[in-house]
Structure 1
Amino acid sequence: MPEKKNEGSHVSRRSFLRNGALAAAGFMIVPRHVLGRGYVAPSDRLRVAAVGVGGKGFSDITGFAEGPADINFLCDVDTRRAADAVKRFPKAKFYTDFREMFEKEHKNFDAVSVSTPDHQHAVAAMGAMQLGKHVYVQKPLTHDIFEARKLTEAAKRYKVVTQMGNQGASGDGVRQLMEWYNAGVIGDVHTVYVWTDRPVWPQGIQWPKSSAPVPSELNWDLWLGTAPKKDYVEGLVPFNWRGWWDYGTGALGDMGCHLIEPPFRVLGLGYPTSVEASVGSVYVDEFKRGYFPESCPPSSHVIMKFPTKKGKEITMHWMDGGIQPERPEELGPNEMMGDGGNGVIFIGTKGKMMCGTYGKDPKLLPTSRQVKVAQTIARVPEGHYVQWVNAAIAGFDSAKAKALSSPFDIAGPLTESILMGNLAIRSYDVREAKPDNKGFNYPGRYIKLLWDGPNMRITNFDPANQFVKRTYRDGWSLGV
């Protein structure tokens, strides 16, 4: 993290996250020192500090407040985006820099919500966990594979209650799919198709050549955070950052945690063993293809292989940018596939089943097929947000914590698998000059990348490994 004082802050944050021992030893609220890490004060209300409170961050903290939670602190680098939250929670103290909030207020909150752009998820969440705070982090959990692995490990090390913001994981739909599958209704699944109409923001474009004045309400240096130093450009904030690799994770990162979660959970998937990708092209003029490796592609098709406990393989197809799989023959010509723009189809040895975003509206195919199975999996009537609030109050070792829908020991491997798709997409654009210096070769295309999950490494194309762990801007660290 920056060792110099940031604009708008009067506290030096030298080595704040770099020194995990300091965090563990020095930043503990009194009740936890007495009663143990992860234990909430006797009031039985969760005191929440929110990092990123505009847009989805606002709906997150509003969701927490429906349960026994108090939103005591708000933090955002953009006061325009924070306006609704400040109005909704007028008693909450406001900060611009989450590190300053952590330093000054660590005794006064129990849990942290993180809803920033993707590139800032890991540093904020890790800093909170090092303080012994429970954390709720928006999807995707992290920006790169290494960060996901480290946050998963940290949740266990610091014994904190965690949840990722893929709310469909608490829905009834995915539980119905699990019950059908566990009952053998569609047999053994061997192929899954997952698709989305995202992106709905610009991708496959060149970084703007001209900069723009930074809005007075935005702390641009803090917004950049771990990302490389660049001038502010028009239109990046608050939404279009998703299409740039420095900050976002593209259509796959945005929607994968909602759409890949059902097959990941239903089929009990772990690390993939291989991944390959093809991407849509863009043209800068009539005859020349664009090469914009800093931008996510306009469309992609990713194929991942997952091993099963029975020694077989499951093939998962991810499609974005409006690409869709062939309609199942069991689906009528006028019946909607998935929910239209998005969906999942499971193909088994005895049948097929389908759902929309978040696992909603599950159906057996053909849709006229009706099979009743016992309800064996508990539902989550309180919803994704309050489920986490209640679990955090109960503590790390509680039954409520063990029943969470998307704790990091589930969300972490799911996020890693999703980001494996992005690794393949980015490897597609790795280029090297031809020996005669006339044009380029693209050695990452048209090959299958082999993945060593436990060691987080591509074994047959080393240039792909640069996308496992990104380099933070000088002065920022994950603290591990």
Structure 2
Amino acid sequence: MKDGSEEKNNTNTSRRDFLKTGALAAAGFMIVPRYVLGGKGFVAPSDKLMIAGIGAGGKGQSDIANFYKSGKAEIAYLCDVDDRRAANSIKSFPKAKYYKDWRELFDKEHKHIDAVSVSTPDHNHAIITYHAMQLGKHVYVQKPLTHDIWEARMLTEAAKKYKVVTQMGNQGASNDGTRLLSEWYDAGLIGDVHTIYCWTNRPVWPQGIQWPTTKADVPKELNWDLWLGTAPYKDYVDKLVPFNWRGWWDYGTGALGDMGCHLVEAPFRVLGLQYVKNVQASVGSVYVDEFKKGVFPESCPPSSHITLTFPKTAKTKGDITMHWMDGGIEPERPDELGPNEMWGGEEGNGTLFIGTKGKMYASTYSDAATLLPKSLTAQANAPKKWNRVEGGANGHYAQWVEACLAGYGKKEVSSPFEVAGPLTEALLMANLAVRGHDLKGGRIKYEWDNNAMKVTNFDDVNKYVKREYRQGWELKA
């Protein structure tokens, strides 16, 4: 097993090689390959989209399988830093060439792929996605789009610059429910929305805990240095991989990153929301001992209630207040519900719209869209304005595949970066307020200058807008 210094030296060498050869590749191949022609409507002779799946286990495994099920995609390459996680995808796609380092894959195979699927931990989303777009590849990226606000803005702008088809993996954006909610609102059935509640039972992984002090052996199948990628170098600890990284700020974005893109997408679509005006947060504490409460700054809190203000849009009469609640916190039950009526979905996630004339809600992925009282739902009569995606949430994958084959700007996708970017920024703004507690920011209302991308009244928190990258893994626009 390599020690940390040896792996870091190898990583830096590989990184330098990637930057050098990647630049040459971009200069030599950005004009004539078929993936560039694809942006002009050209379809490969095979009529199949050649995909490289980076992150081949867990959610990446299901993403790859769903692209293939479209019947219009080939999984040409697989990449994962953990052979254990990749095993099932390798078995399912034995013809796909396998890599552990995405930089090596891009160096050697960029001429042979049209599109890239990114399903790694949050902290490595942006660097992989940006380099793929530089090479002219269409990209599908799991939610949340990025780890930091600056990264989300950068990817949003890069998608326009490089003219590639983009989609974030919040599949509820393709569900009928979010379109039905939009049609009810556009028809005036609940009046003008001024307040929104979004809530989740997450986290379902450890949060509000101290970083483990016991060093563990790195599994032989895992390249720990590549897994860390852009994050600060730390010794491997047990049970962080493959799932519990979500609760640590160096790698994950907590409950907001996991579920926010699913629950806040509908308000963005229905009301035309964009960027946050201000945000404030209260967080759950943990007991360090019998008499002392505390917060561990490396870990996301066990629960939070965050209030975001969005400026007036073309579809509202004034500012909109959004409440985010996680850790099992839920809003008060609406008066229109009977005392035993379920709401928001049995899984503990939901979105509630409060308007001047009524209310409506939905559960995860905008399923179970409902007017309140529930009896109104069956009576609702609103014009059908928005095209449905074939297959709903499951059709999210085929929609992207077909849009890639058609070429940039030729077909609609439900969560392109122009929508997913601002949505992700709003969620990460909420996390700024959460992290402000670690900096003695307490119950400050953080005022946001969107053009400058900075909080104007508490500068200490701005260091989280764009984090420091590990040497050799810097991301530069």
Q: Does 1:389 align with 2:393?
A: no
Aligned to 1:436: none
Alpha-carbon distance in structure 2 between the residues aligned to 1:280 and 1:119: 24
1:397 is displaced (CA, Å) by: 2.5
Structure-2 change in CA distance of 1:328 and 1:15 (3 Å)? farther
Within a 5 Å distance, the mapping from 1:15-414 to structure 2 comes to 16=18, 22=24, 24-28=26-30, 30-32=32-34, 35=37, 37=39, 39-67=42-70, 68-309=72-313, 312-340=318-346, 341-369=348-376, 370-382=379-391, 383-398=395-410, 400=411, 403-414=412-423
CA-to-aligned-CA distance 1:405-427 (integer Å, 9 cap, x gap): 00000000000001001011001
CA-to-aligned-CA distance 1:52-87 (integer Å, 9 cap, x gap): 010000000000001200000000000000010001
Alpha-carbon distance in structure 2 between the residues aligned to 1:33 and 1:240: 37
Alpha-carbon distance in structure 2 between the residues aligned to 1:32 and 1:6: 36
How many percent identity over aligned positions?
Answer: 67
Alpha-carbon distance in structure 1 between the residues aligned to 2:310 and 2:37: 42
CA-to-aligned-CA distance 1:72-116 (integer Å, 9 cap, x gap): 000000000001000100100000000000000011110000000
Residue type at the aligned position of 1:427: G
Residue type at the aligned position of 1:337: W
Residue type at the aligned position of 1:413: P
Query: Could you tell me which of 457, 474, 477 is aligned with 2:474?
Result: 477
Alpha-carbon distance in structure 1 between the residues aligned to 2:113 and 2:279: 42
Structure 1, 223-232 or 36-45: larger mean CA deviation = 36-45
1:428 is displaced (CA, Å) by: 1.4
1:345 is displaced (CA, Å) by: 0.5
Structure-2 change in CA distance of 1:9 and 1:413 (3 Å)? closer
Question: 5+ unaligned residues in a row in structure 1: which ranges?
Answer: 431-441
Structure-2 change in CA distance of 1:17 and 1:185 (3 Å)? farther
Higher share in helix? 2
Structure-2 change in CA distance of 1:142 and 1:15 (3 Å)? farther
Are the counterparts in 1 of residues 35 and 136 from structure 2 also a CA contact under 8 Å? Answer: no
CA-to-aligned-CA distance 1:225-248 (integer Å, 9 cap, x gap): 000000000110000000000000
Alpha-carbon distance in structure 2 between the residues aligned to 1:208 and 1:190: 43
Alpha-carbon distance in structure 2 between the residues aligned to 1:74 and 1:21: 23
Residue type at the aligned position of 2:33: P
Alpha-carbon distance in structure 2 between the residues aligned to 1:291 and 1:79: 35
CA-to-aligned-CA distance 1:203-236 (integer Å, 9 cap, x gap): 0000001110000000000000000000000110
1:290 is displaced (CA, Å) by: 2.6
Within a 5 Å distance, the mapping from 1:438-477 to structure 2 comes to 442=440, 444-477=441-474
Q: Secondary structure at the match of 1:80?
A: helix
Q: TM-score, normalized by length of structure 2?
A: 0.93
Are the counterparts in 1 of residues 39 and 406 from structure 2 also a CA contact under 8 Å? Answer: no
Alpha-carbon distance in structure 1 between the residues aligned to 2:443 and 2:150: 25
Structure-2 change in CA distance of 1:308 and 1:233 (3 Å)? same
1:32 is displaced (CA, Å) by: 3.5
Q: TM-score, normalized by length of structure 1?
A: 0.93
Alpha-carbon distance in structure 1 between the residues aligned to 2:242 and 2:36: 42
Residue type at the aligned position of 1:320: D
Structure-2 change in CA distance of 1:314 and 1:473 (3 Å)? same
Question: 5+ unaligned residues in a row in structure 2: which ranges?
Answer: 1-5
Structure-2 change in CA distance of 1:13 and 1:229 (3 Å)? closer
1:33 is displaced (CA, Å) by: 7.9
Computed over aligned residues only, the root mean square deviation of the Cα atoms, in angstroms, reads 2.1
Alpha-carbon distance in structure 1 between the residues aligned to 2:263 and 2:160: 26
Structure-2 change in CA distance of 1:279 and 1:251 (3 Å)? same
CA-to-aligned-CA distance 1:261-296 (integer Å, 9 cap, x gap): 111111100101000000000011110113310000
Structure 1, 373-382 or 201-210: larger mean CA deviation = 373-382
Aligned to 1:437: none
1:36 is displaced (CA, Å) by: 6.5
Question: What is the count of residue pairs matched by the alignment?
Answer: 464
Residue type at the aligned position of 1:296: C
Are the counterparts in 2 of residues 132 and 158 from structure 1 also a CA contact under 8 Å? Answer: yes
Are the counterparts in 1 of residues 53 and 75 from structure 2 also a CA contact under 8 Å? Answer: yes
Structure 1, 47-56 or 303-312: larger mean CA deviation = 303-312
Structure-2 change in CA distance of 1:18 and 1:252 (3 Å)? farther
Are the counterparts in 2 of residues 31 and 41 from structure 1 also a CA contact under 8 Å? Answer: no
Alpha-carbon distance in structure 2 between the residues aligned to 1:18 and 1:450: 41
Are the counterparts in 1 of residues 309 and 322 from structure 2 also a CA contact under 8 Å? Answer: yes
Structure 1 runs, 4 residues or longer, greater than 6 Å off? 4-11
Structure-2 change in CA distance of 1:28 and 1:385 (3 Å)? same
Aligned to 2:433: 424
1:464 is displaced (CA, Å) by: 1.4
Structure-2 change in CA distance of 1:30 and 1:166 (3 Å)? same
Alpha-carbon distance in structure 2 between the residues aligned to 1:393 and 1:184: 38
1:365 is displaced (CA, Å) by: 0.2
Q: Secondary structure at the match of 1:81?
A: helix
